[in-house]
Structure 1
Amino acid sequence: MGCQMLWLHLALTMMAAATSIVQGCDPGDLKGLASFRGGIHMDTSGRLAKWAGHSCCRWQGVACNNRTGRVTEVHLPGFISTTDFVFQSQMEGWLSPSITLLASLEVLDLGGLVGLSGRIPTSIGRLKNLKKLYLYGNKLRGPVPDSIGKLLKLEELHLHENRLSGYLPPGIGFLKNLHALLLHSNRFTGSIPASFSNLTNLMHLDKLWPNANAWLQGAIPSSLGDLQGLTELYLGGNELSGVVPKSIGRLSRLILLSLSCNSIQGPLPDEMSALQNLQTLDLSFNSLNLSSIPSPIQELDLSSNYLTDGIPAWMGSLTQLYSLNLSRNHLSSSFPASVADLEVLEVLDLHSNNLTGSLEHVFKIETSFPGGSLTYIDQSDNSFTSTIEQIGVGTLERLEYLNLSHNLQEGRLPTSVEKLKALKCLDLSFNKLGFGLVEALANLSHLKTLKLQRNRFTGKIPVEFLNLKNLKDLDLSDNLLVGEIPSGKPLSDFPQSCFTGNRGLCGKPLSPCKS
């Protein structure tokens, strides 16, 4: 019995000691947290107002090691989740260097607070145990200190959406455990450090979209091909030039590649065909030539390049493609028949090219594959000449957006248009369409935008148009319409400019009809 009582006494003593550790706080940690709180003069969430007493391990947003009592995590993100909703809180103040007194810190999350200012402290290198650093979505200024390269355990570094400037520190290249690096929407200049090739565990590299007038410059370093763990690579919105290096083809795990808004030239290297996991490829706003694309691609954006000649027939081999954007180029000739093989295509954007001929191959997708998924078609600003009846507009039952404006299309609008039950936007303006406006348009109950201006439509506006209760944008101007505009909503909500240019049209908002 005596031994049992002794063991019970020891157990209770150890529990009490552990409890006192957790309830208390290391003096250095307490000083660091108190100084950080002192630098904040506004906290809309009220979390810091509850930081009272000396038991910092009980403070909201603070977590400690149960054995040592040292602070290991500070979670004060701008986005706060509850069981019912997510809301954003804000803090205004400066990032106190005293936060680096938390020597055992593993996670520092101050992301998305909007108003946190100051600089990343040069003493950040003291946090030798740090694994996750989230400072994104604030107003931090100045350079990223090279001492950040001392955080050898760091796995995630999120500094995007700040006002950071200067060169990217080569020290980041020492962070060999890093698998996520987000730096976009800052003001970095210079080139990509060669040391980045050491980040062999990196899976997500995002330097997309700089702020102000600062960009990364120079060629894409071939050393990026050494980052063979990379699954997402964003280098858009800079002043990168030259060609896409052949070494990109070594990134066999790459799922997403964005090089948009640069000055990259020439054809894509043949080595890119090895990227058999690539699903999203954004090369928009460059000066590239059209070349073969890895067949597993699902989302392809080559808009605003200098692509010429016709759309190649091999596009039809991209059978997993669901989004294709070739807009704002110099493509000519007719649309290839092979496009009808794109059975999962949802988004097709070809606007602002020099394409000619018929669109019938596009609309054969739905007839070839009744389970097809086309929801968005923009082929405006071309020279397509097919009639609306030829393209079988009534077969696209999932279509939500159809823009065929600024072409050379003729003929009448078929009654089969009423089959487009999901349609929200229909723009056929600036063509040569004629005959009467079909009543079938009134059956498109989800329609929000209807633009038919600058055509040759004749006859009266069907009274059934009053059934288009969701219509927010209407333009029937510059046609050959006659008679009285049907009275009532939604037609009465639109200004005079939506009906002008029809000499035979009268009634509100135009001049009264003559009796």
Structure 2
Amino acid sequence: MTPALTIATTILFFSLFSSSSSSSACNKHDEKALLAFKSSFHYNTLTSWSKSTDCCSSWDHVGCDSDTGRVTSLRFSNDYENPRPVSLNGSIPATIGDLSSLESLTFSRVDGLRGRIPSQLAKIDKLKHLVIYLTRVSGTVPPFLSKLTALTQLSLAGNRLSGAIPPSLGSLVHLTDMVLSGNRLTGSIPASLFRKLANLTTLDLSRNRLTGPIPRSLAGLSSIAFVFFHGNRLTGDASFLFGKSRPVSQLNLAGNELAFDFSRVEFPLSMGYMDVSNNKIYGSIPAQITELTRLTYIDVSYNKLCGKIPSGGNFALFSADSYAHNKCLCGEPLQPCK
């Protein structure tokens, strides 16, 4: 998970649970659904989930609306900072769809969680945050997720998902974060995926098996700040991801087969992190890159670049490793230009 996503997830965690203690008794319908959820697992550590106590005030991992007693959040996490670790052995049950007021659902580092994402999840039309991170969940990225029209965060990173990215995810117009990294996704990125995602700020499709070009529709997103495509098999021209006025601050295209003329690129002034290593990028490094006052990391190694490395700005920070194994780059910190 990227630093930006870690911060966002932490903020989400505290905001959701700051009001989790409830003056209203737990809704009986939700209590029944939670107990059915618990009983569906072969083994679990949900020992606090008991009919003798109130699910809003006493059950671990549960957050409620303080006025109505409806369950609005479930967070099962074995992150290092979590004081309430959990073990769930089995699949996400269909009864999850009975929690009709749920706004946030998180499974993070729950190793025993496996199976497919259940179709009943699509019944929860209030769901805004769906995080399934570092589990054994498998199957495809289900197209029915497009029915979750309130969704702002979709993070399915580090699982065993396979198959293609469904184009229907492009209809989630409120989405700000789309994270599908670290799976086994194949095929091309749908050309229609980004045409309606005007609010998207974070896109992470890294460490999959995606092929083909990056859709040019991504260039139309004026809010995109974090873009990660590294560790795929993508080809073609990605120069449209750059642009002096674009808001991109972190860009990682490493480990693909992208080919374009780097000398024609203008860099976003907000850029702080850029890795385009291990591609087929040619041309030279434009001098405009020295204007990037926020740039703290750059890697253009293992490409086909030539010419003198620009000097000035933050470029004194970067070692020879940042430029290694190119066709004919020269100048500090490499060998002098002839």
Q: Shorter-chain TM-score: which interval?
A: 0.7 to 0.9
Aligned to 1:374: none
Mapped partners of 1:300, 1:70: distance in 2 = 48
Report the CA distance between 1:41 and its aligned residue: 3.1
Matched, 1:235 2:229: yes
Mapped partners of 1:249, 1:149: distance in 2 = 31
Report the CA distance between 1:236 and its aligned residue: 0.9
Q: 1:115 aligns with which of 84, 109, 112?
A: 112
- Tell whether the 8 Å contact from 2:22 to 2:56 is kept in structure 1 after alignment: no
Give the residue type in structure 1 aligned to 2:229: L
Aligned to 2:8: none
Aligned to 1:434: none
Report the CA distance between 1:206 and its aligned residue: 0.6
Matched, 1:291 2:285: yes
- Tell whether the 8 Å contact from 2:22 to 2:64 is kept in structure 1 after alignment: no
Matched, 1:255 2:249: yes
Mapped partners of 2:222, 2:278: distance in 1 = 26
Aligned to 2:5: none
Aligned to 2:48: 50
Mapped partners of 1:273, 1:317: distance in 2 = 17
Aligned to 2:24: 22
Q: TM-score, normalised by structure 1?
A: 0.55
- Tell whether the 8 Å contact from 2:76 to 2:86 is kept in structure 1 after alignment: no
Report the CA distance between 1:23 and its aligned residue: 2.5
- Tell whether the 8 Å contact from 1:144 to 1:168 is kept in structure 2 after alignment: yes
Report the CA distance between 1:262 and its aligned residue: 0.6
Which structure 2 segments of 5+ residues have no match? 1-20
Aligned to 2:94: 97
- Tell whether the 8 Å contact from 2:211 to 2:233 is kept in structure 1 after alignment: yes
Report the CA distance between 1:205 and its aligned residue: 0.6
Report the CA distance between 1:68 and its aligned residue: 2.1
Aligned to 2:12: none
Go from structure 1 to structure 2 and tell me whether the alpha carbon gap of 1:106 and 1:250 turns closer, same or farther (over 3 Å shift): farther
Alignment of 1:456-475 (within 5 A): none
Give the residue type in structure 2 aligned to 1:277: S
Go from structure 1 to structure 2 and tell me whether the alpha carbon gap of 1:87 and 1:71 turns closer, same or farther (over 3 Å shift): closer
Higher relative contact order (CA closer than 8 Å, sequence separation 6+): 2
Go from structure 1 to structure 2 and tell me whether the alpha carbon gap of 1:88 and 1:49 turns closer, same or farther (over 3 Å shift): closer
Matched, 1:137 2:134: yes
1:421-441 per-residue CA deviation (whole Å, 9 max, x = no partner) reads: xxxxxxxxxxxxxxxxxxxxx
- Tell whether the 8 Å contact from 1:228 to 1:251 is kept in structure 2 after alignment: no
Mapped partners of 2:170, 2:143: distance in 1 = 10
Report the CA distance between 1:123 and its aligned residue: 2.1
Report the CA distance between 1:232 and its aligned residue: 0.5
Give the residue type in structure 1 aligned to 2:207: W
Go from structure 1 to structure 2 and tell me whether the alpha carbon gap of 1:56 and 1:269 turns closer, same or farther (over 3 Å shift): farther
Matched, 1:166 2:166: no
- Tell whether the 8 Å contact from 2:231 to 2:255 is kept in structure 1 after alignment: yes
Go from structure 1 to structure 2 and tell me whether the alpha carbon gap of 1:139 and 1:149 turns closer, same or farther (over 3 Å shift): same
Give the residue type in structure 2 aligned to 1:23: A
- Tell whether the 8 Å contact from 1:204 to 1:231 is kept in structure 2 after alignment: yes
Aligned to 2:197: 199
Aligned to 1:304: 302
Mapped partners of 1:250, 1:242: distance in 2 = 21
Mapped partners of 2:181, 2:133: distance in 1 = 9
Q: Secondary structure at the match of 1:307?
A: strand
Mapped partners of 1:265, 1:149: distance in 2 = 33
Mapped partners of 1:156, 1:20: distance in 2 = 25
Go from structure 1 to structure 2 and tell me whether the alpha carbon gap of 1:276 and 1:188 turns closer, same or farther (over 3 Å shift): same
- Tell whether the 8 Å contact from 1:304 to 1:327 is kept in structure 2 after alignment: yes
Matched pairs, number: 308
Report the CA distance between 1:167 and its aligned residue: 1.1
Alignment of 1:41-80 (within 5 A): 41-43=42-44, 46=45, 48-53=46-51, 55-58=54-57, 59-79=59-79
Mapped partners of 1:207, 1:68: distance in 2 = 38
1:310-347 per-residue CA deviation (whole Å, 9 max, x = no partner) reads: 5x15x103436633501233436xx53xx4xxxxxxxx
Mapped partners of 1:129, 1:81: distance in 2 = 28
Matched, 1:276 2:269: yes
Give the residue type in structure 1 aligned to 2:199: N
Which structure 1 segments of 5+ residues have no match? 1-18, 340-347, 359-515
Mapped partners of 2:328, 2:87: distance in 1 = 48
**RMSD (Å) for aligned C-alpha atoms:** 2.7
Mapped partners of 1:251, 1:114: distance in 2 = 42
Q: Secondary structure at the match of 1:31?
A: helix
Report the CA distance between 1:274 and its aligned residue: 5.0
Report the CA distance between 1:98 and its aligned residue: 1.1
Go from structure 1 to structure 2 and tell me whether the alpha carbon gap of 1:199 and 1:122 turns closer, same or farther (over 3 Å shift): same
1:235-292 per-residue CA deviation (whole Å, 9 max, x = no partner) reads: 111111111143642771100111111101131373x425111111110110111331
- Tell whether the 8 Å contact from 2:153 to 2:178 is kept in structure 1 after alignment: yes
Mapped partners of 1:138, 1:249: distance in 2 = 37
Mapped partners of 2:318, 2:100: distance in 1 = 48
Q: Secondary structure at the match of 1:224?
A: helix
Mapped partners of 1:251, 1:71: distance in 2 = 43
Q: Secondary structure at the match of 2:63?
A: strand
- Tell whether the 8 Å contact from 1:178 to 1:202 is kept in structure 2 after alignment: yes
- Tell whether the 8 Å contact from 1:223 to 1:247 is kept in structure 2 after alignment: no
Q: TM-score, normalised by structure 2?
A: 0.82
- Tell whether the 8 Å contact from 2:244 to 2:266 is kept in structure 1 after alignment: no
Report the CA distance between 1:145 and its aligned residue: 1.5
